[in-house]
Structure 1
Amino acid sequence: MNPLTNHLIVLSFDCLSSLDVPALLKLPNFKTFIDGSSYCTNVQTIYPSVTYPCHTSIITGKYPSKHGVVNNTFIQPGRTSPDWYWHRRTINGTTLYDEAKKAGMKTAALLWPVTAKAKIDYNMPEIFANRPWQNQVMVSLLNGTPLYQMEMEARFGKIRRGIKQPELDDFVLESTVHTIKAKKPGLMLVHFVDLDSQRHHHGFSSKEANAALKRHDKRLGRVLRAIQEAGLSDSSTVFILGDHSALDVSKAIKMNVLLKEKGLIKTDITGKITGWKAYCKSCDGSAYLYVNNPADTETKRAVENVIDSLHHDKRNGIEKVYSSREAKQMGADGNADFMLEAVKGFYFEDNHEGMFLEDVTKESVLNKNFSFACHGYSPFKENYSTVFFAKGKGVLNGVRIPSMKLIDEGPTFARLLGVSLGDTDGRILEEILELAPGNVKLNKSFITS
């Protein structure tokens, strides 16, 4: 299979929503890129629509039930900060960067989720120090490409303030620009988190979120100019995409409070979890319910009773209850006994202390890590789609895709690189590629429309 491009650059702007398109068209660099691009403003995300499963679906073309990254964090009851699915080993099967590497391409990934310890030439993985004795710089170095990261840290490290935004994205930007010019990778995956962070902390349409969109516009402009300055404009393909949207929330649902009251979660005198028969694992707008012992039918009935007592009244925040089989059919974790979908305005928290329902306030966001806006909801939630814009070598000009799925992106990237992801859940978007018959190649300059 012949490649259609020499350099594929994927820019993921976390939490970029279809609802953002009017704002993007008023920002100079986004507008210039979107004009003449092939695009879809109705991209169906996956379930649960949280960052790590989404980004793994993007580069595998598969649903979480198959690639194995079923949530952002692991089931670790009682841990204040559970570990995330940081490592490549948690992904079942191959990935886009694996196949590109096998084909002899130079690969780069900057803050791309689930890439720790991956075989990527220039790898700055998204991972953070999650133990008191760990140091952020050392954790990053040990899980990515040490010499490359040391160089980026020496050049641009003074920009960062740990993992705080927007400084972290500014550091990633400078590293991206330098890597394009100095390394010229065949595949580059870049993940920007500023917008998602601002929406969690301030709300979907907050002034802070709008400011993040403007910062992203400047970042995009810098990346596109770097491609031009590196002499790669005629040999590169750039994709701009989001992974999910977000919804404003005012109530946090804490199912584990009820499970503890029913004796299904045990704690010591300090409140620390010492054992559990059932546990609710949040995916923000949705949640998994697990029974610790699959053969424990008594506990499963008790969990069903808890759910039934809540589900009939939407004021409890539960819109839909899925069985294990139904969750797997939707692409989520079939090992969960149940999956819960929240009503708009509600989301799930892991916490097992306090009240079953708590108001989301400025104080709770500041002190309890609550959120003003969340994702993780069903891909079928109203006004909840994301976006996809493509421009450059191998991509036709101005093709509008009425609707597509997040899982279609990986197979399309693979086709452009001339590699295969094997048996995927998604399809190749052949209608935007130059191999499609009957379409005409037009001007696709990144810098001028």
Structure 2
Amino acid sequence: MNKALTKNMVIISFDCLSALDFELLRTLPNFQRVLQNGSYSRHVDTIYPSLTYPCHTTIITGKYPKNHGIINNTLLQPGVASPDWNWYRSSIKGTTLYDEASKANLTTAALLWPVTGKAKSIQYNLPEIFPNRKWQNQILVSLLSGTPYYQWELNNRFGHIRNGLSQPELDDFVLESAVHTILTRSPNLLLVHFTDLDTQRHYHGVFSDEAIKAIHRHDIRLGRILNALEECGRLSDTTIVVLGDHSALDENKAVQLNVLFKEKNLISVNVNGKIIDWKAYCKSCDGSAYIYLKNKDDVETNLFVRSILEDLIVDPSNGIESMITGEEAGKKGADPACAFMIEARHGFYFHDEHLGDYIHHITNEDVLPGKKYTFASHGYSPEKQEYKTIFLATGRGIRQNEVIPSMRLIDIGPTLARILGLDLGQTDGEVIADFLTIDTKNNLTKGVV
């Protein structure tokens, strides 16, 4: 076991924070506090598909989706109007950063961190989960999936701030909960997930005024967390990590491939339009999509679907940029169980809808909160241009003024584990030693720890 560089770490995820935001971040006072005293990489390659739940699981495992098991935000449930999400820790294969921290007798806490529902190794857990069926309510599903007395306290103190899942109120609630947790629980490892920016980009566009205002709000939130650590005397003994999970791209057209599959008799519906059977199904990952066959050994359907996709790719107006096989998807870290994986062209994203038009032209009315379409998406390939995210770190165990030219999302987990003196086992990523105040090869200090 490696010697820990710190026993205290706060990981702050600003969902959908892009490398293209860096020039703005360096002008904001609290992001400056991190940048001036720490190190960073403004070129972090995300994963495929670049969705929030797979990304956040990669961050705390150091693995690609095919290896940690969270290959999409939502489950494959053809015909279900609102598919269930990958909410629960039990869906993750192998260990996580918080599991190993708990084994090392470190206190752990998580606020709206994805895929932490019913995670036994998180002592103070407010998981990201929402009522997805008419008979459910927010308080009950949260209490059953996290730490009941802890959530009850947070709701009693700060629940008035929330307005359902609306932003920025949800992140304001998370912020007050994070500050309170730091001051009253002093967790060794705190994971905090903010989604304000992601929401504004989805509904208003990547560089909309609403998105820019969300970044400014995030700067204030970051400052409150830093001040809370300073107030309780833990700032100098804590590693502070600020990161994004993926970027986003503007779009205004939804590719609804299941509409075409229905026309080709690959999907069967009843008189009410509800799916009752299927041979092939397009499962959206927003900027990309998996194509699944109900019978993986159905060679005839496989060839038929391939021919459909090849014909669509020829015409750019169909919105499909490329197609790869399931085996090729697996080599990129995605789900090898799919028959095909497709990538959207700029200006397009994929939707599960099987009714309506093959290409749905998105209007303002489509993207109002509660509607099912958006004006910006992620989920695209990491190979897309200007589609990187960022990683910033400061505090205990972090060298000052190191600029890492490039890194991968899979490298974050092993690097954070090394700082905490933990071992994630076999990972797809590697420790980025240049961030650390210790030479990982020779175990020599590089600076003041």
Name the TM tier (shorter chain): over 0.9
Per-residue CA distance 1:126-166 (angstroms, 9 max, x = gap): 00000101010111011000000001111111101111111
CA contact under 8 A between 1:15 and 1:244: conserved in structure 2?
A: yes
CA contact under 8 A between 1:321 and 1:341: conserved in structure 2?
A: yes
| Pick aligned residue for 1:398 from 385, 398, 401 | 401
> 1:76 aligns to what?
77
Kindly state the Cα deviation for residue 88 of structure 1 after the two structures are TM-superposed: 0.3
Q: Alignment partner of 1:43: what SS?
A: strand
Q: TM-score normalized by structure 2?
A: 0.97
State the distance in 2 between where 1:129 and 1:311 align: 38
Kindly state the Cα deviation for residue 368 of structure 1 after the two structures are TM-superposed: 4.0
Kindly state the Cα deviation for residue 32 of structure 1 after the two structures are TM-superposed: 2.1
> 1:102 aligns to what?
103
> 2:379 aligns to what?
376
State the distance in 2 between where 1:368 and 1:160 align: 20
| Pick aligned residue for 1:184 from 183, 186, 198 | 186
Give ranges in structure 1 of 5+ residues lacking alignment.
Answer: 445-449
State the distance in 2 between where 1:91 and 1:64 align: 9
Q: Alignment partner of 2:438: what SS?
A: coil
> 1:170 aligns to what?
172
Q: Alignment partner of 2:9: what SS?
A: strand
CA contact under 8 A between 2:7 and 2:106: conserved in structure 1?
A: no
| Pick aligned residue for 1:267 from 261, 266, 269 | 269
Kindly state the Cα deviation for residue 439 of structure 1 after the two structures are TM-superposed: 7.4
Note the 1:132-151 alignment, pairs <5 A.
132-151=134-153
> 1:354 aligns to what?
356
CA contact under 8 A between 1:43 and 1:388: conserved in structure 2?
A: yes
> 2:322 aligns to what?
320
> 1:441 aligns to what?
447
Q: TM-score normalized by structure 1?
A: 0.97
Q: Does 1:221 align with 2:223?
A: yes
> 1:125 aligns to what?
127
Per-residue CA distance 1:267-311 (angstroms, 9 max, x = gap): 111111111111000000000000000121121122112101101
Per-residue CA distance 1:370-423 (angstroms, 9 max, x = gap): 110100000010000000000000111111100000010000111111110000
Note the 1:163-312 alignment, pairs <5 A.
163-312=165-314
Matched positions, count: 443
State the distance in 2 between where 1:123 and 1:233 align: 22
State the distance in 2 between where 1:378 and 1:360 align: 22
State the distance in 1 between where 2:324 and 2:446 align: 46
State the distance in 2 between where 1:172 and 1:429 align: 30
Q: Alignment partner of 2:85: what SS?
A: coil
Q: Alignment partner of 1:250: what SS?
A: strand
Kindly state the Cα deviation for residue 230 of structure 1 after the two structures are TM-superposed: 1.1
State the distance in 1 between where 2:311 and 2:59 align: 38
| Pick aligned residue for 1:409 from 407, 412, 415 | 412
Residue type of the alignment partner of 1:165: Q
State the distance in 2 between where 1:408 and 1:337 align: 28
CA contact under 8 A between 2:239 and 2:395: conserved in structure 1?
A: yes
CA contact under 8 A between 2:204 and 2:376: conserved in structure 1?
A: yes
Tell me whether 409-418 or 357-366 shows the greater mean CA deviation: 357-366
Q: Alignment partner of 1:148: what SS?
A: helix
Kindly state the Cα deviation for residue 210 of structure 1 after the two structures are TM-superposed: 0.8
State the distance in 1 between where 2:131 and 2:252 align: 30
Kindly state the Cα deviation for residue 108 of structure 1 after the two structures are TM-superposed: 0.4
Per-residue CA distance 1:230-265 (angstroms, 9 max, x = gap): 110121000000000000001110000000000010
Note the 1:149-164 alignment, pairs <5 A.
149-164=151-166
Per-residue CA distance 1:330-371 (angstroms, 9 max, x = gap): 000000000000111110000001110111210121374111
Residue type of the alignment partner of 2:384: K
Residue type of the alignment partner of 1:49: S
State the distance in 1 between where 2:123 and 2:226 align: 22
Tell me whether 191-200 or 307-316 shows the greater mean CA deviation: 307-316
Q: Alignment partner of 1:420: what SS?
A: coil
Per-residue CA distance 1:176-218 (angstroms, 9 max, x = gap): 0010111111111100000000000000011110110111011
State the distance in 1 between where 2:316 and 2:36 align: 43
CA contact under 8 A between 1:396 and 1:439: conserved in structure 2?
A: no
Kindly state the Cα deviation for residue 36 of structure 1 after the two structures are TM-superposed: 3.0
Alpha carbon RMSD of aligned pairs, Å? 1.2
CA contact under 8 A between 2:37 and 2:395: conserved in structure 1?
A: no
